[in-house]
Amino acid sequence: MEVGIARAFGIATAVRFTGDTTLVPGETYNLGPELDINLQLHLQVTKRLSLLLGGGIGLQNTTLAPAVTYAVTPSAITIEPNIETEVFPGVVFGLEFDIGHAGILAGYHLRRGFILGIGISF
């Protein structure tokens, strides 16, 4: 999602669900979604084509899976997780094609890889 001014400058945010499904005792795992916040520039190349350049940060909570001994059952233990927030650089670039009140975006995100998007402007 991006909120911007005149298709030239915007503040974008994205959520990527990253929760791990299989926990390994004693290993670090992702806790909840990763949140991205970017500042983005839309540099007009032609009347309908723009170059998208953006940068920001990604935030991901992580915690350590508890290591349980075999003498104690896991249901008998209550563990308060020690949560840390990792910060990652976020860089995005791509091309955006304007089709009136909508746009089509194809680009690359440093952490997510190739991205495709559809935008609606009003």
Q: Which residue has the tokens 């559809």?
A: 118
> Domain 2-120, what fold?
Porin (2.40.160)
**Sheet strands (E) in the chain:** 2-5, 9-16, 28-30, 34-44, 49-64, 84-98, 102-109, 113-120
The structural domains of the chain, with segments of one domain joined by +, span 2-120
The pLDDT tens digits of the residues spanning 46-82 come to 999 999 999 999 998 888 777 665 555 556 555 666 7
The pLDDT tens digits of the residues spanning 77-108 come to 556 667 888 898 989 999 999 888 888 999 99
pTM: 0.68
β-bridge mates for residue 64, sequence order? 28
